[in-house]
Amino acid sequence: MNIYKDGIAFLLCLIIAYQVKCQVYEGKYKGGIYKEEDVPEYVLPDIFTGFDGQKITSVEQWEDYRRPEIIDFFARNMYGKVPVPSDPIIKSFDLISEDTDCLEGLCTRRKISITHKNKYGEVTMPMLLFIPNNAKGPVPAIFLYNGDDIRRDRLEIDSPQRYGSTRNGVPLVQLMQKGISLITIDGNAFGRGFGIEGGKVKGGIVNLFFEPGQKHTKEDEWGLIAVWAYAINSGMDYVVTDTDIHPEQVAVLGCSVNGKVALWAAATDKRIGMVLSATTGHGGDAIWRRQFGETLENMCTHLPSWICRNACKYAHDVNSLSVDQHTLLATIAPRPLYIGTAELDLWADQKGQWIAAYHAAPAYLLYGKEVAFTSAEQPPLNDPIKESAIGYYVRSGYHGLTYYDWERYIEFIEYHFMNISHK
């Protein structure tokens, strides 16, 4: 052992660690609120009070009046609406390949090509499905939204040391053994690019919806979150035709920005039967008004193409929003919703996620669904709320999608779709 060399190496590690610590709050993370005592006072909009002051007391009023106006507000002022194309879109689905002996006979692997085209162009998006072969009928599915993992072969099985998991961390063998299928798409095929100046989105599927002479999206038209949600909705167009998948038991799963995508896709598409949200945060399942971690102003500055340009009218005054993210979560009712977050994910604001879940619960109660919490007090660390229309947990660790998250989501699917309890 060389004490001198070991000492120098240790010192270098300390220097690097210090530099990393100093850089954590640089760039887009600089200037954020990370302490509870700095959170400003706020009042959340009541989910049962309409924009005109009308009080909602029934499911019929919610479905016919309040829910549509909430979704319309988010479409025009947050995510952006999907415009009507000047030339109709023609959609098609093609089976590219099918392996009925995948994973040594455990499942069938299908690759589907989803194509949208009109006179302005053509866009094709790949989809993969893994369906357990031992199923006796249509099975529930996790619809995992990601960017380009299919193209990068990250859905292939990893090394024997991570038996049964794919390179992107999906516990594929476990899902197949549990009788749960996996669906995934490459959403970036429909739109990509985080540095588009001023949030003016163009390219991909967006160009097919342009009016003659249009160069980029209008102020109230879709940002990339809405574009990627449209990719999920397009995937659902195929899924409901596949007789191996239970059409009412598709759970959309997204992590981080993909969780925002999953939530908006579910709000705009009732065919989605469940949402699994992993460390999603602001613009998804955490309320804006706390201004803890990521803020709307920050998103408008650093990631303006995620949302529509109209959203930035509220960047400096989020309290003037007629909605907040708890109202978005409420529009998913009565379908099961599971929110997973991490103790040290300050940017996503795990307390803000809990507040949103808690204030969305009345919508589920309106439908007569059981919600297994009545207190505004946040649940303890690593103590998941499972057997509930709204599930929630805050786990140890950091931002991301971990094996702990997958286990919780599998349990949630088993409880709601397969009548299996994990008390």
Residue ranges of the domains in the chain? 47-418
Instruction: Answer whether 0.85 is exceeded by the pTM.
Output: yes
CATH numeric code, 47-418: 3.40.50.1820
Q: What is the length of the chain?
A: 423
Q: Tell me if 384 sits within 8 A of 341, measured CB to CB.
A: no
Report the amino acid identity of residue 20: V
List the chain pLDDT tens, one digit each, 423 residues.
454 445 554 444 444 344 434 445 567 888 789 999 999 999 999 999 999 999 999 999 999 999 999 999 999 999 999 999 999 999 999 999 999 999 999 999 999 999 999 999 999 999 999 999 999 999 999 999 987 888 888 888 777 667 788 888 899 999 999 999 999 999 999 998 755 678 899 999 999 999 999 999 999 999 999 999 999 999 999 999 999 999 999 999 999 999 999 999 999 999 999 999 999 999 999 999 999 999 999 999 999 999 999 999 999 999 999 999 999 999 999 999 999 999 999 999 999 999 999 999 999 999 999 999 999 999 999 999 999 999 999 999 999 999 999 999 999 999 999 998 876
CA angle 280, 281, 285 (to 5 degrees): 85
Using CA atoms, how far apart are residues 254 and 180, in angstroms rounded to an integer?
Answer: 17
Q: Return the residue matching tokens 């930035």.
A: 312
Using CA atoms, how far apart are residues 395 and 136, in angstroms rounded to an integer?
Answer: 35
**What phi, psi does 230 have (nearest 5°)?**
-60, -35
3-state DSSP assignment of residue 85: coil
Tell how far CA 267 is from the center of its chain: 11
Using CA atoms, how far apart are residues 301 and 278, in angstroms rounded to an integer?
Answer: 24
Strands of the sheet containing 107-118, edge to edge, are 90-101, 107-118, 121-132, 181-186, 139-146, 245-255, 274-278, 337-342, 390-395
Q: Tell me if 259 sits within 8 A of 326, measured CB to CB.
A: no
